[in-house]
Structure 1
Amino acid sequence: MQILVTGRHMEVTDEVREFVLAKAGKLSKYYDRIHEIEVILDHESEEFTTEMIVRADHKHTFVASGSGPEIIPLIDAITEKLERQLKKLKEKRRNHKGGLAADGVGTEG
């Protein structure tokens, strides 16, 4: 899995880069077929904007973005959004063949 961190209108510090790499690396725990994660950090007029793009198998692309006054809580919020998206896809794939649903009730075919 490749993780790209890009800064627009700002210099990405080592501390922020390490934090992003740690958070993005944990996303593979929710969906193991991730090929690439691209993180774009932008700073304009006292506000940070962050966008995270996750590319997985079968041309699945997941995008989460947000803006706020501080970068670290913003990255946390965006990774939580992506975790929900990845969990949803994994549940869809798991229940595709008619196994147990998320609530534990079997589906009738």
Structure 2
Amino acid sequence: MQVNISGHQLEVTEPLRAYVSEKFSRLERHFDRITQVQVIMSVEKLRQKVEATLHIAGGEVQAHADHEDLYAAIDLLTDKLDRQLIKFKEKQIDRLHGHGPAARG
């Protein structure tokens, strides 16, 4: 998994890079076919914003979060992405086993 981190009006420090890498490695435990991650961090007034796009086998997953604390925003973002990846994986399993919407009715 390749992680690209950039900042708008914000310097991305080494501790921030390490924290993001640690959090996104957790996502790989739920869905191992993540090929690339694009993370953009920005500051707007007093809000710290983080958005990410995950390129995965079969599509993309996007999410964004904002908070007063940048580390809390990263936590919120990874939680959202985690839920989306689990949902995406369940949909793939349902399609594989023939339980998709077309099979229901």
TM-score bracket, normalised by the shorter chain, equals 0.7 to 0.9
Q: 1:68 corresponds to which letter in structure 2?
A: H
C-alpha displacement at 1:79, in angstroms?
A: 0.4
Any runs of at least 4 consecutive aligned residues in structure 1 with deviations exceeding 4 A, and if so which? none
Residue aligning to 1:57: 57
Residue aligning to 2:39: 39
- 1:32-86 alpha-carbon deviations (Å, 9 max, x no partner): 111101110001212211101101113x111110211100111001101000110
TM-score (norm 2): 0.87
1: distance between equivalents of 2:72 and 2:66?
A: 10
2: distance between equivalents of 1:88 and 1:38?
A: 20
1: distance between equivalents of 2:66 and 2:89?
A: 27
Q: 1:88 corresponds to which letter in structure 2?
A: K
Q: 1:35 corresponds to which letter in structure 2?
A: T
* Number of equivalences: 102
Residue aligning to 2:76: 77
Rg larger for: 1
Residue aligning to 1:104: none
Gaps of 5+ in 1: 101-107
Higher helix share: 2
Gaps of 5+ in 2: none
1: distance between equivalents of 2:79 and 2:65?
A: 12
Residue aligning to 1:21: 21
2: distance between equivalents of 1:23 and 1:69?
A: 19
Counting aligned pairs with the same residue, the percent is 31
2: distance between equivalents of 1:75 and 1:63?
A: 14
1: distance between equivalents of 2:91 and 2:34?
A: 16
Q: 2:6 corresponds to which letter in structure 1?
A: T
Residue aligning to 1:94: 93
